[in-house]
A and B are shown apart, each in its own frame.
Chain A
Amino acid sequence: MSLKGKRILIAKPGLDGHDVGAKVIAMALRDAGAEIIYTGLRKAPEAIARVAVEEDMDAVGLSILTGSHKELASDTIRCLADLGADDMPVFVGGTIPAQDVQDLKQAGVRDVFTAAVTMDEVVAAIDRAIGNPESGQ
C-alpha cells in the first residue's frame, strides 16, 4: 500500500487555535507521499466540506483539541453528505477521551488518533483506509 498521489485535506474546524498536531500530521503524510491541503485555522464545517469536494480529496483529517469534537465531526460529516460525499473517509485527531471514541465512530468517523499514537501508526491507518494497492501484487 502507499499514499502516493492521494489527496488529503487537513482541517481545523471551529475556533481551536492549536495547529501543531495538524501540521505535524500534514508533514508526516506528505513525507509518506500524499498531497496535502491544510485549511488553516477557524474553518466552519460547511467550508471544510466544500473544499474537500471541490478539491476532489481522498480523505479529510479534522484536528480538534477543545472538547468540541463530537459536534464538529458530526457537522462536517453531515455537510459532506449534503454535498453528496457521504463516502469520504473522515479521521479525527486531538484530545479525545477514550470513552468518546466509540461515539465518534458511530457518527461516521473512520478512525481517531490521540497524542499517544506514533506518526507511523497514523500513516499506516490512513494507508489501510485509502492507500493504493502495491503495484505488481
Chain B
Amino acid sequence: MTDPALSAKPKNAEAGPGPLSTATPSGIEVPEVVSADIAGRPDPEGPGQYPFTRGIFTNGYRGRLWTFRQYSGFGSAEETNERYRFLLDRGQTGLSVALDLPTQCGYDPDDAMARAEVGKVGVSLSNLAEMEILFDGIDLGEISTSFTINGTAAIIYAMYLAAADKKGVARDKLTGTIQNDILKEYVARGTWIFPVRPSMRLIADSVLYSNDETPRFNPISIAGAHVRDAGVTAADEIAYTLANGLAYVDELVRRGGDVNRFARRLSFFFYVHMDLFEEVCKFRAARRIWAKLLKERYGVTDEKALMFRFGVVCGGSSLTAAQPYNNIVRVGIENIAAVFGGAQSIFTCAYDEAFQIPTETSAEIALRTQQIVAHESGIARTVDPLGGSYYVEWLTDRMEEEIMRTIGEIEDMGGAVQAIEEGRIQQMTAEAAHRRKQAQDRGETVVVGVNAFRNTGEDQDFGEVFRLDPALSHRVMEKLEAVKDRRDGKAVKRCLDRLEKAAAKDDENLLPYFVECCNAYATVGEMVATLKGQWGEFKEPIRL
C-alpha cells in the first residue's frame, strides 16, 4: 500500500541529486562495510584515561552536562544585558559575549574607521562603564562568561577583571573564557591588529597572568571554527588548530611557563557541520592527538594538562538563507554530533543566524534544541556511546592520519607562526574555500534547498526580521563622551604612559597595566593606539 501523499512528486520541487557520495567531506573514501578485521581496535583505555579518545571524564555527562552557551550580543550594553537576562531566565547556563567589530579591531565608537559598524555584529564595549552595564544584575561569581575576542583580548579580559573587582567578586571565583587566539585571526576571521610576534606576546602575557590571578578561567580558546567555516575540511580544521596550539605552547615555554600548569587551562573551539560521523571522529581523534603531542613532545605528566577540552558551535556556513527553517533540523543533527563527540560546551546557532542577528523566537528554538537533545534523546546517558563501533573506530584512525599529515606539512613550512606570516595558511584556506564552492555549484556536495530540492518561484522567506535601532551608534557615542568628561584625564594619561613604557620592554607582563588603564576608564581605542605606536600594525600578505 502506498500513501498517495507520499508517492506524489512534491509540488514545484526539483529532481533529487545523484547517488550518495562514498567519501567523507575530508576526502576519506569509506568502504561499503567496515568489517571487524579492518576496523582497528578501539582504545583499551577507558574514558578519562590517556589518550582520552573516549572522552576526558570517566563518567561522561553524568557528572555534569555540557554548558549551554548561546553566543549573543548586539547594540549597546543595555540591550545586550536585557537579552542575557532573557536567556538566563530560560535556562541558559553560561554567557557568551559577541562584541562589535570596532571593539574587536581596537577602534572607539567615535573613530572614523568605526563608522557604520558600531553595535552591528555584537555589543560595543569601549570602556569599563560599558562592561559594568553589560553585567548589571548578573553575578560574575556564579555565571561563566565567554568572550569572543582576539586582537583586543588582553584588554577586554583586564576590563572584565576590573568590573569583577568593582563588584567585589573574588578573582579566583571567576570562570569563563576569552578566545584570545590570534593566529587563526590572520587566517580566517580577520580581527588582527598588531604584527604576529607582539600579538603572541599578548597571548602569553594573558595566559600567564590568568594562571596566577584567575585559576578557574580559560585564558585562551584555540579555535578551528573560523577556518572551518571559511572552507577547510574537518581534518584540516583540527590540524591547523593543533598546529596553532603547539605554537602557543612553544611561546609559553619560551616565556618560562610550566607546561604542566598552563596546559591545564588551554581550551579549544570548533564548528560542527553536517557529516555526523566525521564530526564525531574528528573530536575523538583530536583528543587522542593532543594528549600524545603534549606527552611525547613536551613531557607533560599532569593528567589534567593532557586533557583536550573543547566547546563547539553548531551551524555557521552549514546553514542556508534558502528555506531557512531547514536550519533547525541541521542544527539538531550537529548538536547530536557534538554530544557524541564529547563537547564541554555547545552553542547552537539560530535558524536565521546565517543572515541576521537572531530574534528572540529563533534564539529560543536554538536553546530548546539543546535541551531536547540533553533531556529527551537519552544520548548523553552513557559516555562515548559510539566507542567500539567498527565504522567510528576506523574513521577515528583515518582522521588521525589525515590530521597528522597536515600538521606535518605546516611543520615543514617552519611551523604555524612562520606559515601565517608568509600567508601560506591563508592561501591554503582560500583554495579550500574555492574548491568547496565549486563542489557545491556542481552539485557534488548536496545542500538541500540550495542546489537540490529547490522550490521554484519561491521567495526567500526570512521569517521575522531583526532590526537594530538606527539611533544606537549615536547613543553609544554620547555615553562615551560622558565617560570622557567624567574621568580624570590626567590619571588616564599617566596610565597610558606607563603602558607604553612597559610595552617597549619584552619581558614585562602587560596585564597589570591594562587593568590599571581600565580602572581609570581609558578606552580600548586609546590602549590600542598606544600599543600601535610601539609595535606597528600587521601587514597582510596577499597571496591568491
Residues of A within 8 A of B (CB): 14-20, 23-24, 26-28, 30, 36, 38, 40-42, 44, 66-68, 71-72, 75, 95, 97-99, 114-116, 118-120
Query: Are A68 and B116 CB-contacts (below 8 A) given A97-B355, A97-B465?
Result: yes
B320 pairs with A116, CB closer than 8 A: yes
A116 to B324, CA, bound (A): 12
Q: How far is the CA of A17 from the CA of B189 in the complex (A)?
A: 5
Complex Cα distance, B101 from A72, in Å, reads 14
**B309-352 interface code vs A (CB 8 A; 1 in, 0 out):** 00000000000111000000000000000000000000000000
Contact in complex: A23, B356 (CB < 8 Å): no
Query: Are B190 and A16 touching (Cβ within 8 A)?
Result: yes
- The answer to whether A24 touches B321, judged by C-beta atoms less than 8 angstroms apart, is no
Interface string of B82-122 (1 = CB under 8 A from A): 00000000000000000001101101000011111100110
Q: Which residues of A contact B120 (CB under 8 A)?
A: 66-68
Given A15-B107, A18-B189, A98-B460, output 14 extra A-B contacts at Cβ < 8 Å: A14-B116, A15-B105, A17-B185, A19-B190, A20-B230, A20-B430, A28-B434, A28-B437, A38-B544, A66-B101, A66-B117, A68-B117, A95-B321, A116-B450
The answer on a CB contact under 8 Å between B542 and A40 is: yes
Shortest 6 CB-CB distances between A and B: which pairs?
A17-B190, A71-B116, A15-B101, A23-B430, A118-B441, A40-B540
- 10 A-B residue pairs with CB within 8 Å: A14-B101, A15-B105, A15-B191, A19-B190, A19-B430, A24-B430, A28-B437, A41-B540, A66-B120, A114-B321
Q: For the complex, is B281 an interface residue (Cβ under 8 Å from A)?
A: no
Could you tell me the distance between the alpha carbons of A75 and B231 in the complex, rounded to whole angstroms?
30
B433 at the interface (CB under 8 A from A): yes
B462 at the interface (CB under 8 A from A): yes
Evaluate contact between B114 and A23: CB separation under 8 angstroms. no
Q: Does B369 contact A (CB under 8 A)?
A: no
Among B321, B357, B440, residue most surrounded by chain A Cβ atoms (within 10 Å): B321
B contact residues around A41 at 8 Å (CB): 190, 540
B contact set with A: CB distance below 8 Å: 101-102, 104-105, 107, 112-117, 120-121, 185, 188-191, 230-231, 320-322, 354-357, 429-431, 433-434, 437-438, 440-441, 450, 459-460, 462, 465, 468, 540, 542, 544
User: CA A116 – CA B323 in complex, angstroms?
Assistant: 11
- Interchain CA distance A20-B316 in the complex, whole Å: 14
Please, which residue of chain B has its CB at the minimum distance from the CB of A69? B116
Chain B residues whose C-beta falls within 8 Å of the C-beta of A98 in the assembled complex: 459-460, 462
Decide if A16 touches B101 in the complex (CB within 8 Å). Answer: yes
By the criterion CB–CB under 8 Å, are A15 and B114 in contact? yes
- Taking a contact as CB atoms under 8 Å apart, the answer to whether A36 and B544 are in contact is yes
**Whole-angstrom distance between the Cβ of B446 and the nearest chain A Cβ:** 14
Question: Which residues of B lie under 8 Å from residue A67 when comparing CB positions?
Answer: 120-121, 356-357, 468
Question: Which B residues are CB-close (under 8 A) to A44?
Answer: 112-113
Nearest residue, chain A, Cβ from B435: A24
Closest CB in chain A relative to B317 CB, distance in Å: 8
In the bound complex, CA of A27 to CA of B357 (Å): 30
Q: How many whole Å from B534's CB to the nearest CB in chain A?
A: 20
Q: Closest Cβ of chain B: how far from A97's Cβ, in Å?
A: 6
Cα of A24 to Cα of B433 in the assembled complex, Å: 7
Inter-chain CA distance A41–B104, complex, in Å, is: 14
- Chain A residues with Cβ below 8 Å from B431 are 27
Q: Give Cα A17 to B191, complex, Å.
A: 6
For A40, the closest partner residue in chain B by CB is B540
- Interfacial chain B residues near A116, Cβ < 8 Å: 320-322, 450, 460
Name the CB-closest residue of A to B74. Answer: A67
- Set A18, A72, A97, A114: member contacting B116, Cβ < 8 A: A72
Q: In the complex, which of the residues B105, B321, B429, B459 contacts A42, with contact meaning CB atoms closer than 8 Å?
A: B105
Chain B residue contacts of A97, Cβ below 8 A: 355-356, 462, 465
A16 to B122, CA, bound (A): 12
Q: Which residues of B contact A18 (CB under 8 A)?
A: 189-190, 230
- Asked if B434 and A23 sit within 8 Å, CB to CB, the answer is yes
For residue B101, which residues in chain A have a CB less than 8 angstroms away from its CB?
A: 14-17, 66
In whole Å, how far is A84's beta carbon from the nearest beta carbon of chain B? Answer: 23
Chain B residues near A99 (CB-CB < 8 A): 462, 465
Residues of chain B within 8 A of A68, CB atoms compared: 116-117, 120
Closest B residue to A96 using CB positions: B355
In the bound complex, CA of A10 to CA of B489 (Å): 42
User: Are the CB atoms of A95 and B117 closer together than 8 Å?
Assistant: no
Q: How far is the CA of A16 from the CA of B185 in the complex (A)?
A: 12
Count chain B CB atoms within 10 A of each CB in A23, A40, A68, A72 and give the residue with the most.
Answer: A23
Which residues of B have CB within 8 Å of A95? 321, 354-355
CA–CA, A67 to B462, complex, Å? 15
CA distance in complex: A51, B126 (Å)? 32
Shortest Cβ distance from B79 into chain A, in angstroms?
A: 15
Point out the residues of chain A lying under 8 angstroms from B113, CB to CB: 15, 42, 44
Q: Quote the shortest CB–CB distance from A3 to chain B (angstroms).
A: 16
Distance (whole angstroms) from the CB of B66 to the closest CB of chain A:
27
Q: Which residues of B contact A66 (CB under 8 A)?
A: 101, 117, 120-121
A contact residues around B105 at 8 Å (CB): 15, 42
Give the distance in Å from the alpha carbon of A27 to the alpha carbon of B102 in the complex.
Answer: 29
Please state if B450 and A119 are interface contacts (CB–CB under 8 Å).
no
The answer to whether B430 touches A119, judged by C-beta atoms less than 8 angstroms apart, is no
Query: CA separation between A68 and B438, bound complex, in Å?
Result: 27
Contact A20/B102 with A15-B117, A115-B321 known, Cβ cut-off 8 Å: no
Task: Tell me which residues across on chain B come within 8 A of A15, comparing CB atoms.
Answer: 101-102, 104-105, 107, 113-114, 117, 191
